[in-house]
Amino acid sequence: MEKLTEKLEELNQAIVQRIIDLMETKGVKSAHRSEIVLSIQDDEQMHNLEGGRWLTEITPTELIDNNGYSYGHDSISTENLCSVIDSIAEQSVDFRVGTLDSHGNGELYKYFSNKEDAYEHFIEVRAKIIGGEHESAEVWTEERVGDEYESGDTYNIDEDENEELIFNDNEGNELKVGDKVTVVDGIDLESDGELDDGTPLTVEKLLELDSNYITFKDSDGELYDFYGHRVKKDK
């Protein structure tokens, strides 16, 4: 009969091999050192380690906390370690939106599987920063290229308070009052319902709350407020 210690060793080997396998497809450059790691996105899997620090990255041999300190895999239970690895296997890593933690703990990221959702979140956070509803003064987007992330759109309220507002469609074409546009992807407007792909609209007003935030009007005269990157300007 196989001993339980032998089974435990087999499990530990399987855990390490799973991490190695995941690093081939989901590995990214560490935020703390020059090596490839698996980054944890699920807040529930960021287990407390010590000194008020929490788990943010994992390698085949180490756990890494939010300040870059390293620990052995046995610093958390085997069950929790398996849960962390399972969550990483299910998460997407191609796009992310970053902000600065208000408590001085570095950068915080939210990850997305497609660029449109990432940009939508970027716009929402930027609007909150401008309106004083977000603790961070900066927000930015990044896209994964290989095992690193390249910077995309950025906003810093301390640098851009006098930035000229722009209003463009999804292809960067300038939008003006009276322009005819078409919805390019379905929009959930919460209390206002939804607008389907292909819905024709007219630019009614360019709002000064935030760049690209626009009031649109449909054929029935109903008004909708959302961002211009969700529509395409008609030819």
What digits encode the pLDDT tens for the residues 118-164?
888 898 888 888 777 888 888 999 988 877 888 888 888 776 554 56
Taken in order of first residue, the domains within the chain and their CATH numbers are: 4-90 (no CATH), 95-160 (no CATH), 180-233 (2.30.30.40)
> Is the CB of residue 140 less than 8 Å from the CB of residue 152?
yes
Does the pLDDT value for residue 13 go beyond 90?
yes
Query: CA–CA separation, 66 vs 49, rounded Å?
Result: 10
Contact 202, 220 (CB under 8 A): no
Distance between start and end Cα atoms, the chain: 75
Return phi, psi of residue 152, to 5°: -125, -120
Across the range 92-96, mean pLDDT stands at 80
Residue 207 clears pLDDT 90, i.e. is over it: no
The H or E element spanning position 25 is helix 4-26
Token readout for 207 is: 């709002």
